[in-house]
Amino acid sequence: MRLRNFSAPTMAEAMALVKAELGPDAVILNTEQVGQAVKITAALDRDAILTDPPTAATADPLELIARALEFHRVPAGLAERLTQLSSGFLLESPRQALAGALRIRFPGQPVVERQPERPLMLVGLPGAGKTATLAKLLARARMKEWQAVAVTCDLVKAGAVEQLGTYAKALQVPAYRAKDADMLRRAVALAPAGSLVLIDTVGSNPLETGDLDQLAELAAYVDAEMVLVMAAGGCVVESAELAQLYAEAGVERLVPTRIDAARRLGGILSACDAGKLRLAEFGVSPEIATGLESVTAERLADMLLRPVQAGGGASGDRTTGAVSRATGR
């Protein structure tokens, strides 16, 4: 077996280099982000390809992965791509194989990994969990001993300002409310240099182009990055369409919430695929201090495989819902 390293600005370009150099039988051993480039380590074991037939040991993990993706109602095309990517990893564990595929297809970009250089504006449908997610991000920032500031633009929902104020007071974080763009800019300007600035917004309707236009203008006014907050367990098609609309408005990252209360996660994968969004955090419980987890491919693979490994089938209609009860909400 000979190992080769390939680097390119994007995953797609790196994979194209692998295929051009080693052909369709190349085995992907590792992927990593190196600065602004993607590095892939691949190999081609010609002897194994020519002489070794498939065995049950290699076929069974792929069957398990395919069943899991079907259980979660992952669209057929996406499920096929993930299964094919999984087959490129010479690993014994289905978890490791699926994690390798997810790492390529859905690279994570956690929010609280390093201090953001720009304010983060949480956007999404009404009731998606934006305010609670903001509080959880504040809690994680405080655990890292970062300075943080909270701003709410949601002056519509009853009790929204008071709710954020309660969270901010408990976490000893300054909190401001902004009824327009000028007030928002003043609030952001009050944040000490290097602070994590989190902005809560009123629930938006992406089917109304005016809502998304206003959000995009507001974000641009304070140079904020919009992060989509979306509840897990939604319809696959609906989730994909909504994510695509938010992506067209400038969203690049997604925080799925209520994962502990969702039996199927196909909607989240479909949303990321359709909108080309990076997963940021997982909302796994209502607890403010511990309710967010940074995204890892291994954790996502666990969530996807658990129902099938626990005895569920492709339909999963009678499954006990190991995913939904994983955190005991």
> Cα–Cα distances in Å, from 280 out to 47, 49, 151, 227?
41, 38, 20, 9
What is the predicted pLDDT for the residue at 28? 77
Q: Tokens standing for 33?
A: 């982000």
Q: Which residue has the higher pLDDT, 114 or 229?
A: 229
d(CA 268, CA 159): 29
pLDDT at 10: 79
DSSP string, 174-227: -EEE-SSHHHHHHHHHTSPTT-EEEEE-----TTSHHHHHHHHHHHHHTTPEEE
Band of residue 51 on the pLDDT scale cut at 50, 70, 90: very low
pLDDT of residue 89: 80
Predicted TM-score (pTM) of this structure: 0.76
Asked if the model's pLDDT at residue 52 lies above 60, the reply is no
Residue 322 has pLDDT above 60, yes or no: no
Q: Residue 160: its pLDDT value, please?
A: 66
pLDDT tens for each residue of 161-175: 777 788 888 888 899
Q: What value does the mean pLDDT of the chain take?
A: 84
pLDDT for 238 beyond 60: yes
pLDDT digits (tens, 9 = 90+) for 247-279: 999 999 999 999 999 999 999 999 999 999 999
Q: What is the pLDDT of residues 113-135, one digit of tens each?
A: 777 789 999 999 999 999 999 99
- Please compute, for residue 317, the number of CA atoms within 13 A of its CA located in the half-sphere on the CB side: 1
Mean pLDDT within 71-82: 95
Q: What is the DSSP letter of 72?
A: T
Report d(CA 248, CA 216) in Å as an integer.
Answer: 10
State mean pLDDT over 2-11. Answer: 77
- Name which of 139, 224, 137 is nearest 178 in CA terms: 224
The pLDDT of residue 133: 94
Lowest mean pLDDT among 23-37, 181-195, 197-211: 23-37
Q: Which pLDDT band holds residue 209 (cuts at 50, 70, 90)?
A: confident
Tell me, letter by letter, the H, E, C secondary structure of 20-45: HHHCCCCEEEEEEEECCEEEEEEEEC
The domains located in the chain, with CATH, are 2-105 (no CATH), 120-295 (3.40.50.300)
Least confident of 13-17, 76-80, 324-328: 324-328
